[in-house]
Amino acid sequence: MTDNSGKILNSIKPNKIIYPIIIGLGVSGYMLYNEFEPGSLSFFKLSLQSTVWLLISFILMAFRDFWYMVRIRLLTGNQLTWKKAFNIIMLWEFSSAITPSAIGGTSVAIFFLNKEGIRVGRSSAVVMVTSFLDELYFIIIFPLILLLIGRTDIFTFGEGAKHIIWYKNQFFMFALLGYFLKLTYTLTLSYGLFINPRGLKFLLLWIFKLPIIRKWRPQANESGTDLIETSKEFRNWPLKNWLKVFVATAISWTARYWVVNTLIIAFFGIHFLSWDEHIVVFGKQLVMWIMMLVSPTPGGSGFAEYVFKTFLSGMIPEGTGVAMAFVWRLISYYPYLIIGAILIPRWIRKHFFTS
């Protein structure tokens, strides 16, 4: 086992799941204690309808992971079997769940792909292109949602906040900044991927000469080399292949965002929100995603629950936000911690200790 492999394996130890669980449950418990409204939990009654919609919520998350598997198989030229694709996606999600949201799991995804038989250059290319596709989905869908609903209350919370002028809304300004940062990143990556990868590498190395970030220059050099490899791999890809992987990306993210809508239907009924209001809920999650990118906690634990409860206030009955946030994380976050903790030891034994 190389030193680099040892560092990566150390960063994804199964026992690290305890930290996000403690933080998430601790914050949820604290908010529930402070904001509990008598009678609010009466909404959370199991019935045939709520059970069906809860099941649909789980199915949407499984659907999301399935299309992630489809995408990674397409990007690797179907070199990965379905089992290997499943392992990589689950391990990738696990590493994202135990690291701060701003870091994510992409740093170890190359390692996972390489150990499953994909050469290092192509592994780097695949990870970089998945990042490009994820950002492209956001850049396209975010303005479409704004145009569709024709209002900016996806940036507000609570009834009173709806009357705040848009340019005085701190969440709107934050989302706008986040959007343009994502747009800049995507345009820069596009330039490097499809037009001038060597030029972008040169620019990276020039920027990383600055004293404050000079110590990361070797990593910048490595990223630049990966970018050149990525360009070689995907520059001449047929348009139909790009359409396939983007459709897979769009279905995956859309399925993930609709989990919240199905949870609202499960507990408050199918007619509780109008179709327009469901689109607003969907749009609010795009804003939440921007905010969670700055979370310093593993997988956004604690921060995600707070943001969820805050942004959905005014859309769901008062006092139910914390419980809804907990159920949301129970479906969309905690399963990856459990599955990853089970898979990691088996995966390590297979790739490092099998004779």
Is residue 163 over pLDDT 60? no
- At 246, the pLDDT band (50, 70, 90 cuts) reads very high
Q: What percent of the chain has pLDDT over 70?
A: 77
Q: Which of 185-194, 293-302, 304-313 has the lowest mean pLDDT?
A: 293-302
Q: Give the per-residue pLDDT at 355.
A: 47
- DSSP-derived secondary structure letter, 273: S
Q: Mean pLDDT across the stretch 159-166?
A: 56
Q: Residue 298's beta-bridge partner residues?
A: 100
CA dist list (Å): 136 to 139, 247, 339? 5, 11, 28
Q: Give the per-residue pLDDT at 133.
A: 94
CA–CA gap between residue 304 and residue 293 (Å, rounded): 10
In terms of Cα–Cα distance, which of 83, 67, 71 is closest to 117? Answer: 83
Please give the mean pLDDT across all residues of the chain.
Answer: 80
Q: Give the per-residue pLDDT at 273.
A: 86
Q: What is the pTM of this model?
A: 0.84
- At 30, the pLDDT band (50, 70, 90 cuts) reads low
Burial 198-225 (b: 16+ CB within 10 A, else e): eebbebbeeebeeeeeeeeeeebeebbe
Is residue 161 over pLDDT 60? no
Q: Give the per-residue pLDDT at 41.
A: 59
- At 352, the pLDDT band (50, 70, 90 cuts) reads confident
> Tokens 């900016």 identify what position?
152
Q: Which of 105-119, 179-193, 236-250 has the lowest mean pLDDT?
A: 105-119
Q: Give the per-residue pLDDT at 247.
A: 96
Q: Mean pLDDT across the stretch 26-30?
A: 69
Is residue 36 over pLDDT 70? no
- At 347, the pLDDT band (50, 70, 90 cuts) reads confident
